[in-house]
Amino acid sequence: MSEKEHQNASALEEVRQNQWRLLQIYLYYRLALALSLVGAYFLETSQSAKSSGLDERLYFATISTYLVLAIMGLFINRLRAGRISIQIFIVITIDIISIALLEYANGESNSNLTILLIVSVAAGGILVEGILATFFAAVATLAILYKQILNGVLHGTFKQEDFLQTAIIGIACFATSILAQQISRRLRESAALAGRQAEDLANLEELNHLIIQRMRTGIVVVNQDNDILLINDACWKMFGMPSMSKHQSLENFSPQLAEQLEAWRQDPYKRPKPFRPHVTGPEVQSNFTLMEAAEQANILIFIDDNSRMAQQAQQLKLASLGGLTASIAHEIRNPLGAISHAAQLLQESTELNKGDARLCEIIHQHTIRANKVIENVLQLSRRKQVEPELLNMHDWLKNFIQDFQSNQDQQCKIKFVSKKKDLQFRIDPSQIQQVLTNLFQNGIRYSEQNTGQRTLTVVADLNIQSEQPTLDIIDQGPGVPADQQDKIFEPFYTSEKSGTGLGLYIARELCEANQARLDYHPVTSGSCFRITFSHPSRIVTI
């Protein structure tokens, strides 16, 4: 079934349900009317009814039968059995016939019961449309006319005024039916329009909620008591995916964010400082705004990932640097090559003393380092497009570790722990190989400097909460000081004299190009670099 057919079916079902509800209201009216007529009959104490020619047996039989039929109609309506149009036809026809019989039994030409006929005709016009509604008006008119003719035959009196009154009542029945149909149609159209608008609003609200949840910017809505009313997935993940409860206070969710909110209330023009929600989380920047102009309005908090903005700035900076380096690489390399060649020739001289030979060695080493910096920057500017593949992490890492160990000049010991043998990850093999080669070399070097042993531990696991594969590279080195942990991924930052400061930066860039994340995790002894890969079912498109 198409969406349009589904909407039409839903609209027809809504109209049908409205008809059942309206019919039920009318059936309650019939029951109340029947009870009133029976009660009025038994409470009548004067003899005026008898003197006016009341047919008590017909009157009592009619109201008794009408009461029973009213109760039965209400019971059948609750069962929702059969077609509603048939029930409406039977109910309205019974009402018209019953009221006509009561008028006949009443024996008066001018009876107040006539107004009940118009009520029944109006109800018929509201409940149904078209020929059936007009049929009710015709039956009511014929019933009134038949009553006048029958009274005239039995009593031998034909008054022109009575027939004129009957004609007016008949016209009123038809006019009431037409007017009721028009009003009912307008009401149905208005209800349908209101229903469509309500559905559109519900769809729009659902769309807005979906957009908010899918936004990369974190969104939090809190009330004046600092209770969280809404939080999207991006914000929840930025803050480490903590357990959430209904109407959780902002203080319990993030004391730092609560402090910044209180400071903003004191001075809305003061820009909050960036902070890190948890140890391994990204640095974030918060912004606050009132959702309404009222003082007691809810507060909307935007949480932006500062590392993403810093990364974009670094990418622009490095792209400019790469373009500049590419344009002047030839001019830089020629002098470097000449200097390096001259230093090598000078070293071959037999007249150099040890001090001069050492200076020539320093010149040669630094020309190699400068050339390496140029190569790394050029590599970033010429980075090829990502070509991800779905790989088995256990098998791929096992083969990579074997290849890495066989290509080392000195023997190294790498302990590999795979907690899930069937764990898969989606990545560009050549790029993750470059990342792991850099991390493995760093880890082994620092382990050797600190313990004298070339050791490394590699742990492959799955994050249960996010269902994302993770890979930990753990060394036994001295670790990274707390004041340097935020800087190690910055370009050209290095703690070694011979380093270029681009290794970890390039590793993180390659990870993020594959929608993975490289973070530093402090451990008790050594350092841990964790790669969090994207969900294996997610297709990477850059």
Report CA 318 to chain centroid distance, whole Å: 37
Torsion sign (Cα): 34, 36, 39, 44: negative
- Is the whole-model pTM more than 0.75? no
Give the distance between the most distant pair of CA atoms in the chain.
158
Q: How many CB atoms lie within 10 A of CB 354?
A: 7
Specify the pLDDT at position 318. Answer: 60
Q: How many CB atoms lie within 10 A of CB 389?
A: 13
Specify the pLDDT at position 529. Answer: 92
Q: Residue with structure tokens 């008591």?
A: 225
Domains and CATH numbers, the chain: 3-205 (no CATH), 216-305 (3.30.450.20), 309-381 (1.10.287), 389-532 (3.30.565.10)
Coil, strand or helix at 246: coil
Q: How many CB atoms lie within 10 A of CB 291?
A: 10
| Rounded Cα–Cα distance for residues 333 and 84 (Å) | 92
Please report the beta strands in 137-258, taking only residues with DSSP state E, as ranges in sequence order.
218-222, 228-231
**490 DSSP assignment:** S
Q: How many CB atoms lie within 10 A of CB 25?
A: 11
Residue type, 393: M
Query: Which of 389, 401, 404, 432 minimizes the C-alpha distance to 536?
Result: 389
Residue 416, beta-bridge partner list: 458
Report CA 278 to chain centroid distance, whole Å: 26
| Contact between residue 203 and residue 288 where contact means Cβ atoms under 8 Å apart | no
Reading the chain (542 residues) residue by residue, the pLDDT tens digits are 455 555 555 656 666 777 788 888 888 888 888 888 888 888 764 444 444 455 778 888 888 888 888 888 888 877 776 677 888 888 888 888 888 888 777 765 445 677 888 888 888 888 887 788 888 888 888 877 777 666 655 555 556 666 677 778 778 888 888 888 888 888 778 877 877 888 888 888 887 777 777 777 888 999 888 899 888 888 887 887 788 887 788 988 888 999 999 999 888 888 888 888 876 667 788 999 888 765 667 899 998 877 666 656 656 666 666 666 666 666 677 777 788 888 888 777 777 787 888 888 888 777 877 777 777 666 665 666 678 888 899 999 999 999 888 888 888 999 999 888 888 898 888 888 888 998 998 899 989 888 889 999 999 998 876 778 899 999 988 888 887 877 888 877 776 666 667 778 888 888 887 878 888 888 888 889 999 888 777 544 43
Residue-wise DSSP of 445-489: HHHHHHHSS-EEEEEEEEETTTTEEEEEEEE-S----GGGTTTTT
Backbone angles phi, psi at 387, to 5 degrees: -125, 80
